[in-house]
Amino acid sequence: MKQKTTKKLQAEAQFSSFINLREVRMKYNWRTKTKWLGITLALILGLTLSFVSVAAQEWPDEPNFPKISKDEAMDWAESKWGPLSEYEEAAVDWVYEEFQPSTFTVKEQIEELIWFAHKAEPLRGVSIDSVAETIKTHKWESDVLTKAFRDITGIKVTHNIIGEGDLIEKLQTQLATRQKIYDVWVNDADLIGTHVRLQDAVNLTEYMNGEGADITNPRLDLDDFLNPEFGQNYEGEQIQLPDQQFANLYWFRYDWFTDPDLKAKFKDHYGYELGVPRNWAAYEDIAEFFTDHVSRAEVPNPPPEGKKIFGHMDYGKKGPSLGWRFTDAWLSIAGVGSKGLPNGMPVDEWGIRVRDKKPVGSMVARGGALNGPAAYYALEKYVDWLKEYAPPYAASMGWSEAGPVASRGTVAQRPFQYITFLSADPFTQPESTVTDDDGMPLWRVAPTPHGRYWEEGMKLGYQDAGSWTIPKMTEGENREASWLWAQFAVAKSITMRKFDAGRTPIRKSTVFSEYWDKHEGELGGLITFYKSPVEKLWTDTGMNVPHYPLLAEQWWKQIGLAVTGQKTPVQAMDDLAEIQDDLLAKLRLPKYSPDLNEMRPREYWLQKEGAPKAERGPEEPLTKPYDELLAEWEAGE
C-alpha cells in the first residue's frame, strides 16, 4: 500500500486547522460580542491564531496564499469601510478559511466579497431555490458556497443537486406548465437553442445593462470566461452564464503506451508504432491489442491480482446518459455534419440541417445527416467496441458509474472521457493504481481520435457548459437574489478553489494562473488542453437544436435498442431520424420554428459536396507519440 507523502499530510493538518478555526469564529463571532468576551476569546484563540498564521505563510506551493494574517486583513477592511458588520466579517473569514488559492490578491478578494455583502443588504432574508446536475463541482457549491453566500449576503439558497435526466425533465415541465419549480437553473448551454426559440429566459446582457446594472458585479469580467459564447444568442447577447464546463477527451495509460516491451509487441502485431491514436482505425487496433494480446503480468504498474486488462471503456445502460453519449458530439467526432465552428453549418452534429436559423430536417431525404453513412458508422463502431473490447459490465453502466472506472487500473484507453470524473480521488491519490507514489498521474489526456468522415474545419469534441439560466417567471427580489447567487458562484475570488474541487474550469485566469502553471503535471494534460489554441474545437451543442428536452430523450431510446441487438445500427438511426423529423414538424415556437424541407431521394443529397456525406472506405491507422502530439496541441496544429 502506498503511503501518503509528508506534503499531503501537512496540507491535511493545516486544512483541519482552518476548518476548526472557522467553526470557533463563526460560533462566537467574537468581533461583535461584548468586550470581555472578545478578550476571553482572544486569550483562548491566541495560540491557535498564531499557529495558523505561520502555517498559512509556510503552506508550500501556494503562490497566491495570503501574505498577511487574518487579523491584519480585518484591520485593513475596517480602515476602508469602518466597523465591520457580521456580513463583512464573514467575507474576510471565507477568504482565509476556504477560498484559497485564488487568482486575486487577498485585498481584491475581500473587496469583491464585501461588494456582495453591500449589494445584498435589501435582500437579506430572501430565500431562493436553484438546481444543478450531480457532479462534484455542484455538490461543492451546495455544501460550501451556499453557506458562504448566506454568511456574506444573508440570502438563503437551497441548491438542489439532482440527476441531469431529472433536471431536464423538470425543466421541460416548468416550460410546459409555466409553473415555477426553481428560481434559477444551472442547465447545459446545450439548451441555448431552446431558450432562444422559446424566449423563456432573462436576457442577461439586457439585464446587466438595465434593471440589474446596480447588482452586476463590476469584477464579473465576461472576457475572462473560457467560452461565454456557449450561452449567447445569434446576436451575441448572453442568455446563459457558464458556471462550469468540462470536455470529453481521449484518456490513456501513458506508462503502458511508453513501455518498450509493449511498444515492440504492438509493432510486431500491427506494423506501426504504439502511440496516441489520431483516428478510429488506430484506436480500434490498440483496443484489440490490450484486450486480446496483453496480460496483467506484461503491464507496468499492474492492477490488483486476477484482474484482466481491457483496451476500451464505455457505457451502454439504457437511460438519458446513453443519449448524451451520442448528442455530446460522438457523431461529429465520427465526421457527421458540416465544417464550421462552434457547430457545423448548415448541418450540425445532431444531423440537423438549418436554413435561416430554422431547422429543415434530420433525415438524409431532407438534407440532414442523422441517418447518413457517417451516422451508421458512428453507431456501429460504438456498439462493436463496447461488445468486443470493454469490460463486460460496461454495457450495464450509465455515465456517472462509468466515469471513474479507468481509475481502477484495468483500462488502457477511453475515447470519450468526461474530464469532470477526473476529480474522483483515485485519479490523483498516491494509493491509486493509476498514480505514482507521489500521486502524480500515470495517465494522460489527449486530443480525441476522429472517425473516417471527419475533416479539417469541423469540431473535434464536446464541452458541457452548465450555465446559470434565470427564467423570466422569476421576478422581483427572487430575480435579484438569483442573479447575485449566480455571480457569486463564478466570482474570480472563488473560481480557482472551485476548479480544485471539481476540475471544471470556466475562467482563463484559472487555467493560465501561476498556481496551475506550477501544478500542471498533476492533472495529466488537462491544463495544457485548456491553455491550447485547439480548445476551440471542443464546443457545446449549439443553436441548431430547437427543443433539447423533447428531442434528446428520443436518442437513448433508439440507441439502447442497438446496444441490446433489438435493432441494427442502421435501423436505429433510420428510426431516430424519422422520429426527430416528426417532432420537428410539430413544433410551433415563438422564434425560428422548424420549417422542414420536402423529401427527396437520398442520392440527391449524398452526391452533393458536404454533409450528408456519401459512404467512404476504411482509413489507414495513424498514431503519434504523446510528447510530439502535445507540442502540436500547444501550437494549435
Answer yes or no: are the C-beta atoms of 86 and 32 closer than 8 Å: yes
For residue 56, the model assigns a pLDDT of 32
Cell triple for 47: 495560540
> For the chain, what is the total number of helices (H) and then of strands (E)?
26, 12
- 365 and 372 Cβ atoms separated by less than 8 Å: no
pLDDT of residue 636: 65
Q: Helix or strand or coil: residue 557?
A: helix
By three-state DSSP, how is residue 604 classified?
Answer: helix
Q: Give CA–CA dist 329/581, Å, rounded.
A: 19
Cis omega before residue 391 (within 30°)?
no
Kindly state the helix (H) or strand (E) to which residue 114 belongs, with its residue range: helix 106-119
Residue 610 has, within 13 A of its CA and on its CB side, a CA count of: 15
What's the length of the chain? 637
Taking CA atoms, 129 is separated from 121, 152, 161, in Å, by: 19, 18, 11
Give the Cα separation of 399 and 208 in Å (integer): 36
CA distance readout (Å), 590 to 85, 192, 198, 402 = 48, 14, 6, 39
Rounded CA gap, 626 and 48, in Å? 48
Block means of pLDDT (10 residues each) for the chain, length 637 residues?
38 36 35 35 33 31 60 94 97 96 93 98 98 96 98 98 92 90 96 96 98 98 97 97 96 98 98 98 98 97 95 96 94 97 95 98 98 98 98 95 94 95 90 92 95 96 96 97 98 96 95 92 92 93 95 96 97 98 97 98 97 97 93 73
- Answer yes or no: are the C-beta atoms of 227 and 259 closer than 8 Å: no
CA–CA gap between residue 487 and residue 481 (Å, rounded): 10
Going by the DSSP 8-state scheme, the letter that residue 543 receives in this structure is T
Q: Give CA–CA dist 374/357, Å, rounded.
A: 24
pLDDT of residue 633: 74
135's grid cell: 457532479
- Delineate the domains of the chain, giving CATH numbers in brackets: 61-246+464-509 (3.40.190.10)
Q: Which three cell numbers stand for residue 77?
A: 477592511
Q: What is the pTM of this model?
A: 0.88
pLDDT for position 575: 98
- Per-residue DSSP letters for 467-529? EEE-BTT--HHHHHHHHHHHHHHT-HHHHHHHHHHHS---BHHHHTSHHHHHHGGGGTTHHHH
DSSP 565: T
Distances (CA, A) of 13 to 6, 20, 27, 55, 94: 11, 11, 21, 10, 18
- The grid coordinates listed for 75 are 484591520
- Position 637 scores a pLDDT of 63
Predicted pLDDT of residue 632: 80
